[in-house]
Chain A
Amino acid sequence: LLSLLAMEEEDRDSLEEEHEFVPFRERSGWEDVVPVPQDDGPTPVVPIAYPPHFVEVMDYFRALLSKDERSERGLALSEEVIGLNAANYTAWQFRRACLYALNKDLHEELKWASQIGKENPKNYQIWHHRRALVEKTRDPAQELSFCAEMVEEDSKNYHAWSHRQWIVKEFDLWSGEVDYTETLLEKDLRNNSAWNHRFYVLTHQYPPDEAVRKAEIAFASRYIQRAPNNESAWNYLKGWVRMAESPRSYDTIQELCNGVLQEYPDCRFALSVLVDSFEGEHTKLSLEKAVEVPSSSVGGVRAHSCVKWNPQICTHMAERADVMRAKYWNHRRQNLEEKARVAP
């Protein structure tokens, strides 16, 4: 018992499996099947030490696969293989083949997939299985709530968000999605996945117009004011700013940045976006002024002094506000100084 307790959980599970395992010779209805051993070739490199019950299940699975036997026992066996290794995509593919051949109730299958999906939230094969089934049923009724449930467990589950994106697009279920992202952001305004989904919904349904762009910049700004060091909100903001094709006024952006810097003078996001806005304003602002060297050096760059000394912000980032990425900021500064030299 003590040695059992000292074992790793994985090994214990395996032992239990082994213990409960019923050999195929003791199962009725399998007498006709000749198990097919795994062929690792004559000189296998790093052969896996499979436990005996695993070997037997796989040998029988290979036998059915080689005959492409899409039967009830094939279906049952696929579940057993999946139980041993939920990432075995061949088992999942074979399972689907059996389900379709036997004309099984795919809604029931989806219920089972939900159950096993909750236990393996990051398993690619289960999510793909779900998608394949819904592609057949053409019924997305449970999907958004399933994704929401998974996101409730892990707010950034990449598969859940990916699946949600597909469902929304495939079945035209756009309405409610923007509000959904806001609900999640109210729970956690740092949820990068929610920010991304919001951008997705607003840009993949139809090309966004200037009104949407302005509204979303305002939306991001509100969240930035609540929590200035929120990388996701700033990235979201930048995404919309970059989108505009015509020459744009950077006043609102600079106002936002300077506002943040009043309270948080070293907020690297505000400083970075400020630099971007000055660079974007290139044709409007006199870059000669931007290259002016301040007569007094400041410990923290004050908001009102930021406006003109663009390359100085870069130095400040390299030396103080974002030291880890100093080389990037030196590159940025050189770039801007070069632009200033050739400015009209």
Chain B
Amino acid sequence: FGDKWGEVDTRFSYCAVHCLALLHRLTAIDVAKAVEFVMKCQNFDGGFGCTPGAETHGGQVFCCVGMLAIVGELHRVNADILGWWLAERQLPCGGLNGRPQKKEDVCYSWWVLASLCALGRDHWIDREKLKSFILSCQDTESGGFSDRPGDMADVFHTFFGIGGLSLLGFPGLEEIDPVFALPVRTLKHLNILWKRP
């Protein structure tokens, strides 16, 4: 998937089917071909990159898992192998990284955790440790979340921090859907669902 001006990336695969699902218009595209492209982006480690052969990356995994879930093709993914790669993103500090041997970043508490939830493997990480990590990323003065403890907070990381906490069942938060990144309540209202294989 790309735009008509040529940029191709599995991020767009996700965005496109997400929008189409919300509009109840998934039939507007050739779903089989779109799935074919996403599957071409599956790598030797079971993960996904932005284009065929590109390095497996937490954010891209989220997009591909999400895309496949939305169109009902998540069964094509080996949930044990990918789930394991995702589980290995957890570092001793409890936070998650997006690729092997990179630093933890609260946004992966969304990308990686949501992917694990979609695959039904979120219990494979230490959820308590992740929860503590996310909370440690909150700036006690401004209230927002930063990528890791001590850095400056921003809206991006705040969204993903809160999203992650919701997936972890943090009390007082709306339940968020790991595939659509929308409140479960909203999806029910719009009569949109995806099925776990």
Q: Are A325 and B45 also in contact (CB < 8 A) when A165-B51, A192-B101 are?
A: no
Q: Is B84 interfacial (CB 8 A cutoff)?
A: yes
Do A200 and B53 touch across chains, with their CB atoms under 8 A apart?
yes
Cβ–Cβ < 8 Å partners of A21 in chain B: none
Q: Is A242 interfacial (CB 8 A cutoff)?
A: yes
Do B102 and A156 touch across chains, with their CB atoms under 8 A apart?
yes
Q: Is B132 interfacial (CB 8 A cutoff)?
A: no
Cβ–Cβ < 8 Å partners of A166 in chain B: 51
Do A162 and B90 touch across chains, with their CB atoms under 8 A apart?
no
Q: How far is the CB of B41 from chain A (nearest CB, A)?
A: 11
Interface string of A191-211 (1 = CB under 8 A from B): 111001101100110000000
Do B57 and A158 touch across chains, with their CB atoms under 8 A apart?
yes
In the complex, the chain A residue whose C-beta lies closest to that of B126 is: A324
Interface string of B21-43 (1 = CB under 8 A from A): 00000000000000000000001
Q: Is B123 interfacial (CB 8 A cutoff)?
A: yes
At the interface with chain B, which of A61-69, A100-108, A230-238, A258-266?
A: A230-238
Do B124 and A328 touch across chains, with their CB atoms under 8 A apart?
yes
Do B87 and A238 touch across chains, with their CB atoms under 8 A apart?
no
Do A132 and B124 touch across chains, with their CB atoms under 8 A apart?
no
In the assembly, what is the distance between CA of A54 and CA of B105, in Å?
32
Q: Are A325 and B87 also in contact (CB < 8 A) when A196-B43, A231-B101, A242-B44 are?
A: yes
Question: Considering residues A131, A169, A193, which has the most beta carbons from chain B within 10 angstroms of its beta carbon?
Answer: A193
Interface string of B74-96 (1 = CB under 8 A from A): 00000000011101101010000
Q: How far is the CB of B152 from chain A (nearest CB, A)?
A: 9
Cβ–Cβ < 8 Å partners of B45 in chain A: 235, 238-239
In the assembly, what is the distance between CA of A197 and CA of B43, in Å?
11
Do B102 and A192 touch across chains, with their CB atoms under 8 A apart?
yes
Q: Is A309 interfacial (CB 8 A cutoff)?
A: no
Interface bracket on A: 35 or more
Interface bracket on B: 20 to 34
Q: Are A325 and B44 also in contact (CB < 8 A) when A132-B6, A161-B54, A162-B50 are?
A: no
Question: Considering residues A230, A231, A236, A324, which has the most beta carbons from chain B within 10 angstroms of its beta carbon?
Answer: A324
Q: Is A190 interfacial (CB 8 A cutoff)?
A: yes
In the complex, the chain B residue whose C-beta lies closest to that of A324 is: B126
Do B90 and A324 touch across chains, with their CB atoms under 8 A apart?
yes
Q: Is B64 interfacial (CB 8 A cutoff)?
A: no
Q: Which of A295-342 contact B (CB under 8 A)?
A: 323-328, 331
Q: Are A162 and B54 also in contact (CB < 8 A) when A242-B44, A324-B129, A328-B84 are?
A: yes
Q: Is A128 interfacial (CB 8 A cutoff)?
A: yes
Cβ–Cβ < 8 Å partners of B99 in chain A: 156, 192-193
Q: Are A235 and B125 also in contact (CB < 8 A) when A165-B53, A204-B53 are?
A: no
Question: Considering residues B55, B90, B123, which has the most beta carbons from chain A within 10 angstroms of its beta carbon?
Answer: B55
Question: Considering residues A135, A162, A166, A199, which has the most beta carbons from chain B within 10 angstroms of its beta carbon?
Answer: A162
Do B124 and A331 touch across chains, with their CB atoms under 8 A apart?
yes
Cβ–Cβ < 8 Å partners of A199 in chain B: 43-44
Do B55 and A325 touch across chains, with their CB atoms under 8 A apart?
no
In the complex, the chain A residue whose C-beta lies closest to that of B53 is: A200
Q: Is B150 interfacial (CB 8 A cutoff)?
A: no
Q: Is B13 interfacial (CB 8 A cutoff)?
A: no
In the complex, the chain B residue whose C-beta lies closest to that of A165 is: B53
Q: Are A193 and B129 also in contact (CB < 8 A) when A156-B102, A325-B90 are?
A: no
Do A324 and B54 touch across chains, with their CB atoms under 8 A apart?
no
Do A231 and B88 touch across chains, with their CB atoms under 8 A apart?
yes
In the assembly, what is the distance between CA of A324 and CA of B124, in Å?
8
Do B88 and A161 touch across chains, with their CB atoms under 8 A apart?
no
Apart from A192-B102, A240-B44, A324-B125: 20 A-B pairs, beta carbons within 8 A: A124-B7, A128-B7, A132-B5, A132-B6, A158-B50, A158-B57, A162-B50, A162-B51, A166-B51, A192-B55, A193-B55, A199-B43, A200-B53, A204-B52, A239-B43, A239-B44, A323-B126, A325-B125, A325-B126, A331-B124
Closest 9 CB pairs of A and B: A239-B44, A328-B124, A196-B55, A231-B100, A200-B53, A324-B126, A192-B100, A190-B101, A128-B7
Contact sample, A vs B, 13 pairs, CB 8 Å cutoff? A158-B57, A161-B54, A162-B51, A165-B51, A196-B49, A196-B55, A199-B43, A204-B52, A230-B101, A231-B101, A235-B100, A239-B43, A325-B88
